[in-house]
Chain A
Amino acid sequence: MNSANYLYLSAMLFTIGAVGVVIRRNAIVVFMCIELMLNAANLAFVTFARINGTLDGQIIAFFTMVVAACEVVVGLAIIVTIFRSRRSTSVDDASLLKR
C-alpha cells in the first residue's frame, strides 16, 4: 500500500461531508458534516506531511483542531439560541428568510 490511499480516503470523506451539508436539514447534523470535512482536510495535511517529510502539515492540522473547537462553541451557541426562540414561539421548521 502507498500513502496515496490516505488521500483517496480524505477525498471520499470530504465529498461525503460536502454532500451531507447539502442534503441534511437538521442544523446540528449539517454542522457535523462540516466537521467531517475539516477532518478530511486534516487527514490530507497529515498525509502530505509524511510525503513531503516536513512537519508543517501537522502544524496546520493542529491549528485546525483548535479553530474547529472554537467554531463548534460559537456554532452550537447560535443553534441553541435559535432552538430556544423557535420552541417558545412555535415557528415551524420552514425558513423565515426564504419566502
Chain B
Amino acid sequence: MIRLSLEIGQTQKPEAILFYILAPLSVLAALGMLIVRKAVHSALLLAWVMITLAIFYIALDAAFLGIVQIVVYTGAVMMLFLFILMLVGVDAPDSLTENIKGHRATAIVAALGFGGLLISLIGRATLNHVSVGLAMANEPGNVQGLASLIFTQYVFPFEVISALLITAALGAMVLAHSQKSAGARLSQRALSSVRFRGDSLANAAGLPSSGVFARHNAVDVPALLPDGTPAKNSISGVLTARGDVQDSTQYALGSLPKVDDESGDK
C-alpha cells in the first residue's frame, strides 16, 4: 500500500511551482465568490477559477480539455452568465440579510466540518500502485486518444447528449421566444389612414417629443403642454408601464429663477 498523500506520482518541479502559485489564488477567488455582494463580481471571480482550472488541466496532460475548458466554460458559459446578469440588472446587490437566523453561521460551520472531513479522508487514502501517468494513453496524442474513446466505447452517451442539446434549445425557445400573433401588425396604409382619417388631426404631424426644452431633454421627462400639464403621449408606453416617468412640472418655467436676474449678473 502506498500512502496517497506521500508517495504517488511526484511531479516535476515546474508543475509544483505552478500549482503553489495558482491553487491558493483559485481558492481565494472561489471564497471571494461567496463574499462579494454583486453578482457580476462573483461571475468574474468564477471565470478566474475556471481559467486556473484550465491551466491545471493542461499541466495534468489533458491539453484538449484545457482548451475546451477555456472555450466552453469561460468563453461560452460565463459569457452567458454575464449576459443574463446585464439583462437582469448589474447594479442590484445581493441582500445580505438572513432569512433564517443563524443559518449562515450553521452553514459555514457545517462546511468547515464537511471540507475538513473530506480533505482528511483523502489525505489518509492509500493506493496500491503509483501514479501511472498518461504518457502511454496519450501516446498517439491526447486528442486522438480521446477521439478513439468517444467514437467507440462512449459513442452511445455521446449521441444521447444531442438530445440534451435539443432540449436546451427547445427549452430556451419555450421560455423566451414570444410568438407575436400574426395579423396584429397594421400595414403602412392602415397606419396612415388611422393617422389622417381618424377622429382628430391632433397627432397627424407626429407625436410630441419628450423633454422640456433646454431644461431637461431625457426620454423619461414628458413634454409640457402650453397649459403646463405634462403631455403623456410624448413618453414611450414602455416607460409608463414600468413607472419610470419623471415629474416634468419641476422643470416648468414658473419654477425657474427669473431670467432677468441671471442676465443682470452677466
A and B touch in the complex (CB under 8 A): yes
Q: Are B42 and A59 in contact (CB under 8 A)?
A: no
**Which residues of chain A are within 8 angstroms of B165 by Cβ–Cβ distance?**
66, 70
The count of residues in chain A whose C-beta lies closer than 8 Å to any C-beta of chain B is 68
- B23 pairs with A5, CB closer than 8 A: yes
One of A19, A33, A50, A70 near B168 (C-beta < 8 A): A70
Q: How far is the CA of A52 from the CA of B35 in the complex (A)?
A: 36
Interface string of B108-145 (1 = CB under 8 A from A): 10110011001100110101000111101110001001
B12 CB to closest chain A CB (Å) equals: 9
B245 at the interface (CB under 8 A from A): no
Closest residue on chain A to residue B72 by CB atoms: A65
Contact across chains for B57 and A46 when beta carbons are under 8 A apart: yes
Binding site for B on A (CB under 8 A): 1-9, 11-20, 22-26, 28-29, 31-33, 35-36, 39, 42-43, 46-47, 49-56, 58-59, 61-63, 65-74, 76-81, 83, 88, 93
Chain B residues close to A by CB (< 8 Å): 4-11, 15-16, 19-20, 23, 26-27, 30-31, 33-34, 39, 42-43, 46, 49-50, 53, 56-57, 60-62, 64-65, 68-69, 72-73, 76-77, 80-81, 84-85, 87-88, 94-95, 99, 103-104, 107-108, 110-111, 114-115, 118-119, 122-123, 125, 127, 131-134, 136-138, 142, 145-146, 149-150, 154, 157-158, 161, 164-165, 167-169, 171-172, 174-176, 241
